[in-house]
Amino acid sequence: MDYLYEIPDNKKIRVIIDTDAACEADDPFAIAQAMMIQKFIVKGIFATHFGSAGSMQRSLAEIRTILDLMGKTAPVFEGEDGALRDVRTKDLSPAAKFLIEEAMREDTHPLYVLCLGAITNVARAIIECPHIKHKMKIIWIGGQEIGNDKASVREFNSGNDIDAANFVIGCGSDLTLVPNNVYGSMRISLAEIQRRIYPLGRIGKHLFENMVSYNMQPWAGWTSGESWTLGDNPAVGIALDDSAGTYTYTEAPVFNPDTTWKYVQGRPMIRVCTRIDSRFILEDLIARLEIEYQ
């Protein structure tokens, strides 16, 4: 089935997806949704590390697998091969170089960078060319619930590069933060994924089987057993329709090493998502898979 509508050109946006795609089972759902949204002009997909040797390359391979299974194309770029403290003196990654080029390019379509993992690639690009922080909108899935100063859990995305996280949220960029209490509300059951997504083409099969496989691993003990959180899809949903979230503004806090927050006066303001319309985002994902792959 084809989409029976068109998008006015003045409502289209440029999108870059920055993803640790091989880390867990949720990034592939967000990549797939972003690749189907008609208002998105996907300029590139960046592979992001997730705190272990070779993880960026594994993300790169998963991105390419997803595109192949969907029958879609997009430029794919290697990102920084480690945290900011380890790569800061090395040559810029292809991802960081491309982000600078794309952000500085004149275009009437605003640029959105959807960050679904450690925010190293974006940090390196801004450090190299500070002017780009005014040329893009960053939506980052990361961080503890604002105000949390108790180390009850290590937030994964910020914890994989605390230095990059502190730099980006404090640099004065146009940043929307989606913290763990919000992205954790994107719940879906494995039964629903089996019934509604698994039958939808090679990509539907991959999304389901990849999640089931991950759910059985010993390091997935944090899951409830028969459901999952598609925690990266809020970045896609907010870029699709900003009203998919509700927001507040606060001075950018500082990450402690354990990913809890502390406050320092005089920091730039950031926008924090406080609630997400999870059903709008999930139903949009499933509807697009049905339109394109049923």
pLDDT tens sequence across 155-181: 999 999 999 999 999 999 999 999 999
- Inform me whether the pLDDT recorded for 220 exceeds 90: no
Return the higher-pLDDT residue of 51 and 277. 277
- Inform me whether the pLDDT recorded for 148 exceeds 80: no
Region 208-227: mean pLDDT is 85
Structure tokens at 184: 């954790």
Q: Look at the alpha carbons of 34, 74, 42, 48 in this order and tell me if their dihedral is positive or negative.
A: positive
> What is the average pLDDT value for the chain, to the nearest integer?
95
Region 235-239: mean pLDDT is 98
What is d(CA 209, CA 243) in angstroms, rounded to the nearest whole number? 32
Closest CA to 141 of 226, 262, 68, 232: 232
The answer to whether 120 and 147 are in contact (CB under 8 A) is no
pLDDT at 255: 93
Closest CA to 129 of 95, 103, 100: 100
Q: How far is CA 264 from CA 128, 256, 268, in A?
A: 25, 12, 10
Helix, strand, coil % over all residues of the chain, rounded to 5: 45, 20, 40
pLDDT at 147: 79
In this prediction the pTM is: 0.96
What is d(CA 51, CA 98) in angstroms, rounded to the nearest whole number? 22
- Inform me whether the pLDDT recorded for 132 exceeds 90: yes
- Inform me whether the pLDDT recorded for 222 exceeds 80: no
